[in-house]
Amino acid sequence: MLAGCYVERKKLQDGKNKLKQLLEQLEAECKREQLGKSQLLQASYNILGHHKGHLVDCWLSDADLPILVRYFQALDSPLDVLDLRSNRITDQGTKHLLLLLQPRRALFISINLQENYISPQGIRLLATGMEGMGYSIVIQDGRVEATDTSGRVLIVDVSNNKDAAALVFTPSSVKLAKVKTLKPASVSKPGR
């Protein structure tokens, strides 16, 4: 009986230590994400009037990509290069990135997605999506080279990515609150 209690105590202690380690990792990720979002705000301001989007190490996740896509689509002139290295983009984010790569409306000549969390399966999803849009695709060493019908070449560098299982926390899309519009109360004219 005493040996059984010792084994249970050991399991609880190990579980406690593992939870403590996960909490410390989560706190560190939270601090880095806050710093990354500050860098993102500064970088988005610096993009205006330039031809290069430098959003390296801004802790962008798949949940941030729909907003980022709308931002780039709203720019007055397209960028030549979008550098998204060292963020938290996974296979799930490739569907949003495809919105930026449509032929005749492609906003970039080169996108750098190195050091994210896109697996070989995600690279295939990206290449298949681009091929479905009419691009001729060549995949070599983690680079997807796509040529549209006019001969314009688009390069997406997805080399040197990491395993998504290493992420402690994977952000999900934030659901925005619905805003109710109130109808004005009926107003009667004075004297009636």
Q: What is the pLDDT of residues 102-143, one digit of tens each?
A: 876 666 789 999 999 999 999 999 999 999 999 999 998 889
* Res 3: pLDDT: 83
Structural domains of the chain, ranges and CATH numbers in brackets: 2-166 (3.80.10)
Q: What is the pLDDT of residues 159-171, one digit of tens each?
A: 999 987 776 555 5
Distance CA(106)–CA(146), nearest Å, equals 11
* Res 24: pLDDT: 83
Return the beta strands (E) in the chain as ranges: 52-54, 81-83, 110-112, 136-140, 143-147, 153-157
Higher pLDDT, 157 or 168: 157
Distance CA(54)–CA(34), nearest Å, equals 18
* Res 173: pLDDT: 47
What's the predicted TM-score (pTM) here? 0.67
Distance between the two ends of the chain, CA-based, in angstroms?
Answer: 90
Q: What is the pLDDT of residues 53-69, one digit of tens each?
A: 888 888 888 988 998 88
* Res 101: pLDDT: 87
φ/ψ region of 59 (left if φ > 0, alpha if ψ in -120 to 50, else beta) reads left
